[in-house]
Amino acid sequence: MTSKKKEIDIPKIYNAKEHEDRIYQEWENGGFFNPEKNIAQGSTSIDAPSFTIMMPPPNVTGVLHLGHALENSLMDVMTRFQRMRGKRTLLVPGTDHAAVPTQARVEKDLMAQGMKNPRKELGREKLLEIIRDYVEKSKATILSQIRKLGTSCDWSRLAYTFDESRSKTVNTIFKKMYDDGLIYRGYRTVNWSVAGQCTHSEDELVNIEREAKLYTFKYSEDFPIPIATTRPETKLGDTAVAVHPDDERYKKYIGQSFTVNFCESKFFEIKIIGDSEVDPNFGTGALGVTPAHSQIDFDLKERHDLLLIQVIGKDGNMTEEAGEDYQGLSVETAREKVVQFLRENNLLINEEDTKQIVGTSERFGDVIEVIPMEQWFVNMKKEIPGRKKNLQQLMREAVAIGHNGDEKQKIILSPNGFEKRYFRWIDNIRDWCISRQIWWGHQIPVWYCENKCQPIVSPEKPKECSHCKNTTFQRDPDTLDTWFSSATWTFSTLGWPDKKADLNVYHPTSWIQMGYEIFFLWMARMILMSTYILDEIPFRNVYFHGLLRDKNGQKFSKSLRNNLDPLEMIEKYGTDALRMSMLMGVSPGNDMKFYEEKVEHYQHFVNKLWNISRYILISVKEIKLIAQIPEGNSKDDKVILLLLQKIINEVTESIENYEFSRAGEILYDFTWHDFADWYIEVAKIEKEKDDILLYVLQTLLKLWHPYMPFVTEKIWEFFDAPQKLIVQKWITTKELSLKDNLDIARVKIRKEIVKNIRSARRDFNIPVSIILGLRVRDFGEIFLIEEDMKIISKFARVEETLFVLGENEMHITLSPVAGKLLYLTMPTNIDFTKEKERINKEIKNLEDYTLGLANKLGNESFVKNAKPEIVEETQKKKEDVDRKLALLKKQLKQIN
């Protein structure tokens, strides 16, 4: 395909804003994000292997943040790369109804408008309607923002965790699990957030350390075993004391019961039990058992058939069961009162300051209370009918150990080593509490008949109870944990349970990326659902990205005011620059620094690519597509083409191994240093290289496309190609021969020599008008042949390259290349005396300066009292000056 060269007018500055929205619209309208349309358009084939990614659905009420920018950059690089390799590539977008935060957000707004208790005042239906309206309004925001990032997802398959398809999926699975005996309702302890008025799973808690007091006491004067606690008020709910059965101090008391009291009105029984789980060396070696307010103690209650007394209520205050002296008190007041009682009755043995770890609500921030409640659970350890395994086993078997390629049907986690954490978590897994006491979400599909018969599982209201024929029902008011629905994400988005076509082609999905904070919340539960429902893993590869941190290594947060808005970055620097700054430096599992200058730097690079292209497009005789690798004439032609092949192999391999940063660095280096700084300069001298220039450029556009989709597509438009760049075929090459690699090495050495000579000219202020001599020691013929010398002399303005250094030749020593010594000789009329003086003077100045800085940093009161940024800045300044000093001293040594 050729187009006659017409005058083209390409501005010197690439203006991202002029092109990005239009290009995205054209991709979307052209159907390029949809794998079926790509088959129809012939850019891939019906029998091509599939490549699928499910987008972790962002919260429907959220706005785009840096984390989304990172995740979308990662997903879209993979998606575009695989699409260009001809796979049937599908990236499914979606949003999450984010039950707890969404309802909390709306309730907070309503309360700000003066409502005291929205749930009470509005009732279920009305409140849900308000939330639904709110969600509909905000939904469009996040979706349009994802488009801004250039993410090539198939919008025709857009899913929502709370739409009709998901409702059907969730209800179907709930029924299947219930019928399989895996879902049960139980009165058990749960993690309760008083502030949020709802339960939390273990994984929704954030552990924090806080100051506390440890009280050691006896329940009564005649009680033989002392107990230690940080929460004396919960002791009103104690029903036993557990000791190790072999503990010589206490074993004689096992089986005895004592009646004790913590006030006039509250008498209760404490039974002494033996349990081998108790650590006799911890604390007093005895454990006050509070079954209602501790998960461990609840388990003890189950084993020893103890009583359960709930003394803290859902409102966070003491209950009636705590006794009339305590009822209604806050836990803090009750604590003081119990301690007071112990003190007055000489029961308090010791009181000391301590630190304790407590679980807090990730969402609401309050300290979690453990309380007993009627809840729905998924049983992890019960055998699944017909499978001879339980859910815990299914989840364990799904993950490969390390990066073992033999385990083809298993999931591989990156970085290597994460699977150990996973297995540890699986080994300690508890039953999953799936009910939540909020209204926004999938309501539990369970109905209770008036006569309290067996509950009926059904998404619709049952006609009549099969036991008592009653027709009046109450639906369970609770909703399902959000993760119950997002756990079905890999297959419910592909049509399960109704349609099979997409599932057959696109499941298991190929790759998924996520932050490690949802490792258990989401990844593990997707594994549970997929292996249970489909007997198939949900994805083959999981990539965990780290966190983005600011320049000082701190997390981005509103309170630190260090937040950067990705949309603002796009507005200022363009999407390609933002994507580049997300991908360069990224590696699985590791946190990465992100700052505005980084985006700015990559904007320069986007513009560099634009200018390279501009130069080529303007200077070639004819703008055309080059389909075959052109024949090169000179050594440089051959080497640039070989080098290109080499980097194609390296880039392809790196992306395949999720080394996105490495692939980008290889490409960056080639584009800037090999192609622009070197080959294009050679081409200016040697001329007649249109085909090679065009070929290398077109190949580079393809290689860069997954990273910088917009600018590459825009440049591609100048070629009037029949198909857009987004669906161009990725280039494959053969491995290079030994000779090829030697040729590349030679040119690299030559380049290095030129670079060193140029920088020596800069350092010593030697103008290009002065021609220098080069002395190279011990290079054999292999590396530098006459052709190389010619190029070196042209580029670095040297002549007379010799392999020995004359005894009296005045010279500068260059940095060695490939381990060999190089000298630059000067004509005798250059006088370095002045230069030496200048350098010596500068050294003196800098030495004084660095001494001042060192004194400052050595001053304790400065380091202690100055702001940390100032100290850091001083430190940095000193490092800079020291570096400069070292360089000057080296220069001085180089002159001979």
Q: Binding residues for Zn ion, per CB under 5 A?
A: 449, 451, 453, 465, 467-468, 470
DSSP H or E run through 412: strand 412-414
Question: Is the distance from CB of 550 to CB of 556 less than 8 angstroms?
Answer: yes
Q: Shortest Cβ distance from residue 64 to Zn ion (Å)?
A: 51
Here the tokens at position 5 are 């060269």
Here the tokens at position 815 are 């940095």
Sign of torsion, CA 169 536 72 33?
negative
- Given the complex with Zn ion, which of 450 and 653 has the nearer CB atom? 450
Q: Shortest Cβ distance from residue 472 to Zn ion (Å)?
A: 9
Question: Is the distance from CB of 434 to CB of 376 less than 8 angstroms?
Answer: yes
- Given the complex with Zn ion, which of 32 and 447 has the nearer CB atom? 447
Q: Shortest Cβ distance from residue 187 to Zn ion (Å)?
A: 21
Q: Shortest Cβ distance from residue 341 to Zn ion (Å)?
A: 48
- Given the complex with Zn ion, which of 192 and 447 has the nearer CB atom? 447
- Given the complex with Zn ion, which of 147 and 475 has the nearer CB atom? 475
Here the tokens at position 273 are 């039990």
Q: Are strands 548-549 and 592-593 parallel, antiparallel or unpaired?
A: parallel
Q: Shortest Cβ distance from residue 462 to Zn ion (Å)?
A: 10
- Given the complex with Zn ion, which of 280 and 462 has the nearer CB atom? 462
Distance CA 582, CA 569 (A): 12
> 3-class SS at 574?
coil
Q: Shortest Cβ distance from residue 453 to Zn ion (Å)?
A: 3
Here the tokens at position 727 are 């669906």
Q: Shortest Cβ distance from residue 465 to Zn ion (Å)?
A: 3
Q: What is the 3-state secondary structure (H, E, C) of 257-313?
A: EEEEECCCCCEEEEEEEECCCCCCCCCCCEEEECHHHCHHHHHHHHHHCCCCCCCEC
Q: Shortest Cβ distance from residue 457 to Zn ion (Å)?
A: 14
- Given the complex with Zn ion, which of 468 and 560 has the nearer CB atom? 468
Contact residues for 90 (Cβ-Cβ < 8 A; gap 6+): 35, 50, 51, 52, 53, 154, 157, 506
- Given the complex with Zn ion, which of 137 and 463 has the nearer CB atom? 463
Residue with tokens 């010593």: 764
- Given the complex with Zn ion, which of 465 and 776 has the nearer CB atom? 465
Distance CA 17, CA 148 (A): 11
Read off the DSSP letter of residue 358.
Answer: E
Q: Shortest Cβ distance from residue 454 to Zn ion (Å)?
A: 8
- Given the complex with Zn ion, which of 450 and 631 has the nearer CB atom? 450
- Given the complex with Zn ion, which of 451 and 855 has the nearer CB atom? 451
- Given the complex with Zn ion, which of 5 and 469 has the nearer CB atom? 469
Widest Cα–Cα separation across the chain? 115
Question: Is the distance from CB of 815 to CB of 749 less than 8 angstroms?
Answer: no
Cα–chain center distance at 318:
42
Candidates 185, 600, 117, 641; CA nearest to 379 is: 185
Distance CA 190, CA 199 (A): 6
- Given the complex with Zn ion, which of 470 and 587 has the nearer CB atom? 470
- Given the complex with Zn ion, which of 185 and 389 has the nearer CB atom? 185
Q: Shortest Cβ distance from residue 184 to Zn ion (Å)?
A: 19
Distance CA 640, CA 76 (A): 29
Cα–chain center distance at 148:
20
What interhelical angle do 566-573 and 118-148 show, nearest 10?
A: 30
Q: Shortest Cβ distance from residue 452 to Zn ion (Å)?
A: 7
Q: Shortest Cβ distance from residue 466 to Zn ion (Å)?
A: 8
Q: Shortest Cβ distance from residue 447 to Zn ion (Å)?
A: 10
Here the tokens at position 454 are 């067996």
Question: Is the distance from CB of 702 to CB of 625 less than 8 angstroms?
Answer: no
Question: Is the distance from CB of 834 to CB of 766 less than 8 angstroms?
Answer: no
Q: Shortest Cβ distance from residue 474 to Zn ion (Å)?
A: 11
Question: Is the distance from CB of 775 to CB of 822 less than 8 angstroms?
Answer: yes
CA quadruple 20, 26, 29, 34: dihedral, nearest 10: -80
- Given the complex with Zn ion, which of 287 and 465 has the nearer CB atom? 465
> 3-class SS at 704?
helix
